[in-house]
Amino acid sequence: MTKPFTAPTPWSAERPHTLVVCCSDGRWHAQMVEFVQREVSRYADLYAIPGGPAVLDPWNSSYDEFRAFEQGMRLLSKYHDLSSIWLVQHEGCAFYAEKHPHLDADARRTRQVEDLSRGKLAILERYPKLAVRQIYASLHGDRSVFEHCAERVEKERR
């Protein structure tokens, strides 16, 4: 018989006030957890699905995925008193490679950033009081860098 695992971190009854929507790609899991705990919230709800924020567009994901997300959002907004949502895309996402095989890597990144903007509008349409942050994670050597998209756009303008 296998011994049960006991998590070393104590449980907290504090409800999260933040939701992070990100891709389920396990290659980014450790870095995503670090980013969320250090930059977003110690206690955040996490919605991970292939393509992450692409789920906010029923034409980009699937209608069933969109409906499942909407049901989850209603529950979280009711019971967790959400004040913010963080939409996180990442470089080299297989969802986008599969969905848009005709696009090169730069064009896929552009599409992902555009989808972050569309996702923000979709959230604000239904939940206008939420603060919505848009993040794009990219690789710099073997390091993951998480940038706010507004800052990234400003850098590209310079």
pLDDT tens digits, 43-98: 899 999 999 999 998 777 776 888 899 999 999 988 988 999 999 999 999 999 99
Query: 36 vs 39, 85, 157, CA distance in Å?
Result: 5, 11, 28
Where residue 152 falls among pLDDT bands split at 50, 70, 90?
very low
Give the angle subtended at the CA of 76 by the CAs of 26 and 148, to the nearest 5°: 55
5: left (phi over 0), alpha (psi -120 to 50) or beta: beta
Do residues 132 and 87 make contact, with C-beta atoms less than 8 angstroms apart? yes
Q: Give 79: exposed, middle or buried? Use CB within 10 Å, 0-12, 13-18, 19+.
A: exposed
Domain ranges within the chain, ordered by starting residue: 18-157
Q: Does domain 18-157 have CATH number 3.40.1050.10?
A: yes
Indicate whether 140 pLDDT > 90: yes
User: pTM for this structure?
Assistant: 0.89
Neighbours of 150 (CB within 10 A): 10
Backbone dihedral region of 48: left (phi > 0), alpha (psi from -120 to 50 degrees) or beta?
beta
pLDDT digits (tens, 9 = 90+) for 9-36: 898 888 899 999 999 999 999 999 999 9
Residues 6+ away with beta carbon under 8 Å from 118: 56, 57, 60
